[in-house]
Amino acid sequence: MATGERRRESAGAGVLSPAARPSGPQPSPWSRFLTYLEHRPDRVFPIPAVIVLLLTMLFPVVYTLYMSVQQWEFSALDPPKFIGWRNYVNFLTQDSRFWPSVWRTFYFTFLAVTIETVLGVAIALIFNREFLGKGLIRTIFLFPMVATPVAIALVWATIFDPNLGVLNYFLEQLNLPIVLWTSDARWVLPALAIVDIWEWTPFITLITLAGLSSLPSEPYEAARIDGASPTRVLFDLTLPMLRPTIVVAVLFRAIDALKTFDIIQVITQGGADYSSETLNIYTFQNAFNYYHLGYASSILVFFFMLVMGVSILLLRVRRAAE
């Protein structure tokens, strides 16, 4: 390999810059590097990006894998101890908080992403028409996505407050029974999903709008000539053609929703009584409240595979759609 490179280098130097050919004194390493760079930029230029990627992406994953097979407490006095698969066996078979949190993670994601997709696509179809003030409304509609999640969560926490919150005030005005949004085990995940929907529906809309603007116009002309009704155009033309775009939007949203941390941590911290403890919140508790770093890492490895699995599944759907 090394000799091969050198040969190519010198051959290249012979073609491109005869001055760099060693004649008498040896060229400095720096000028040799410059020659190589001139020659194979495709190998040299990506190096910084590759280093950053290795450090920020690969290293944490590998290190988490390493931690996940240790009994590792957050303490300077207790060195990590290798215990093999025991962490994995523990959470899979003995931990009474693990499986419920997995189920909650999926429930929350399904609820949020389904409604976001339906709403987001519907709103994109509306925004795709011409109406007065369209640009302004479109801009305003994107605000939730741009705002800071923690700030959003704090505002929603006040809205949900059972005693002072505005949501229950409206329900009372309408003579509806009040809901203990964040205390009632049946309501807390839907309530958190409402926040997620409010925040991320614009994301689906944005991607769908991009998809809509790239649709060809010929099929629509054909449909008009054939006298197709607007409903038929929507369901037999627009939506099927949009399907790959929507699948991408759902894929992004689903991965993000599975990992939701900020709004849950701020509004309920997994409460009341663990009824909103998703996998991410539970892992955080284990790592930074109970200080079981090794155990938390093993759950994270499971979580990583879970998110990967969902992504692969959705990508398959996308390929089928194309």
Partner 1 sequence: MPVQLESEILFYRMDLFQEKGIEPPATFDDLAAAAQALHAPDKRLSGIGLRGKGAAATSMFSSFLYGFGGDWLDQNKNPTLTTPEAIAAFKYYGDLARNSGPRGAENNSWPENVALFQQGSLAMFVDASVFKVNVEDPSKSQVAGKVGYAVLPKGPVAQDPASFVWGISISSQSKHKEAAWYFIQWATSKPQTLELLKRGIPVARTSTWSDPSYTAESNKQFDQVQQQSIALSKHTYNPPVVSVAEVRDAIGPVIIAAIQGKDVAAAAEKANNDVKNIIATSG
**Which residue in this structure is represented by tokens 């941590």?**
265
Question: 3-class SS at 22?
Answer: coil
Minimum Å distance from CB 272 to partner 1? 5
Contact with partner 1 (CB under 8 A) among 10, 128, 183, 311 = 183
136-165: contacts with partner 1 (CB under 8 A): 161-164
Q: How many CA atoms lie within 13 A of 24 on its CB side?
A: 1
CB nearer partner 1, residue 161 or residue 236:
161
Residue 175 interacting with partner 1 (CB under 8 A): no
Q: What DSSP line would sit under 128-172, residue for residue?
A: TS--TTHHHHHHHHTHHHHS-HHHHHHHHHHHH-TTT-HHHHHHH
Minimum Å distance from CB 199 to partner 1? 21
Minimum Å distance from CB 180 to partner 1? 5
Q: In Å, what is the CA distance from 115 to each residue of 84, 144, 250?
A: 42, 16, 11
Contact segment (CB under 8 A) with partner 1 among 114-122, 141-149, 247-255, 285-293 equals 285-293
Residue 178 interacting with partner 1 (CB under 8 A): yes
Q: What DSSP line would sit under 26-65, residue for residue?
A: PPPHHHHHHHHHHH-HHHHTTHHHHHHHIIIIIHHHHHHH
Contact with partner 1 (CB under 8 A) among 9, 271, 310, 317 = 271
CB nearer partner 1, residue 181 or residue 303:
181
Q: Is 189 left (phi over 0), alpha (psi -120 to 50) or beta?
A: alpha
Residue of 58, 83, 62 lying closest to 73 (CA atoms)? 83
The radius of gyration of the chain from alpha carbons, rounded to an integer in Å, stands at: 28
Residues 196 and 112 sit within 8 Å (Cβ to Cβ): yes
Contact with partner 1 (CB under 8 A) among 235, 289, 308, 313 = 289
With a CB cutoff of 8 Å and minimum separation 6, the contacts of 74 are 291, 293
Minimum Å distance from CB 287 to partner 1? 12
Contact letters for partner 1, residues 231-270 (x by CB under 8 A) = -------------------------------------x--
Residues 162, 163, 164, 168: is their CA dihedral positive or negative? positive
- C-beta atoms surrounding 240 within 10 Å: 11
Minimum Å distance from CB 296 to partner 1? 12
Contact letters for partner 1, residues 69-108 (x by CB under 8 A) = ----x--xx------------------x------------
Rounded CA separation 120/191 (Å): 19
Minimum Å distance from CB 307 to partner 1? 25
Contact letters for partner 1, residues 37-76 (x by CB under 8 A) = ------------------------------------x--x
Residues making contact with partner 1 (CB under 8 A): 73, 76-77, 96, 161-164, 178, 180, 182-183, 268, 271-274, 285, 289-290
